[in-house]
Amino acid sequence: MRIHTDHNGVAVNAISKQSDGTEVEGHQYQVLTGPKTTQIDFQRGGVAVNGVNGVTNEALLAILLHRTKHLNKQFPCDENFRAIQHMEEALVNFEVRTARRIVRGVEGQEVA
C-alpha cells in the first residue's frame, strides 16, 4: 500500500504480508527511488524472544536527526530548526518509553 510520495517522485510502500503470507504490517517498507528499491525492516517481536532482527524507531529517527542537522549547517532555515526540535523531542519520548518498560520489567517483550 502506498503511504507516501514526495514532490521528487520518491515513494514509500507499506508491506502488510510477505509472499509466503507472513504478516509484516508496520514492520516492512519499500522506498522506491527511481530504478532503485530499498527495503526497511523494523524489529519484529521482542528482542528477548527474537533477538535483534531489524531497525528500531530510535535508530531511524537518529539517522534523520543527524542528516537534518548536517543539512541545516549548509542551508539553515526555521523549518529545519523546528524539525530538529521535534525529532529531538520524539527521540527523548521513545527513550523515556523504553526506560519505563525496563523499570516495569517488560522491555523486549510483546506486552503493552
Q: Which three cell numbers stand for residue 11?
A: 515513494
Angle at 69 between CA 74 and CA 64, to 5 degrees: 125
**The pairing of beta strand 23-33 with beta strand 2-5:** unpaired
Each residue of 25-79: pLDDT tens digit?
999 999 999 999 999 999 998 888 889 999 999 999 999 999 999 999 999 999 9
pLDDT at 108 over 80: no
Indicate the pTM of the whole model.
Answer: 0.86
The domain locations on the chain are 1-44, 56-105
- For residue 99, the model assigns a pLDDT of 94
Amino acid occupying residue 97: R
Residues forming beta bridges with residue 33, ordered by sequence position: 36
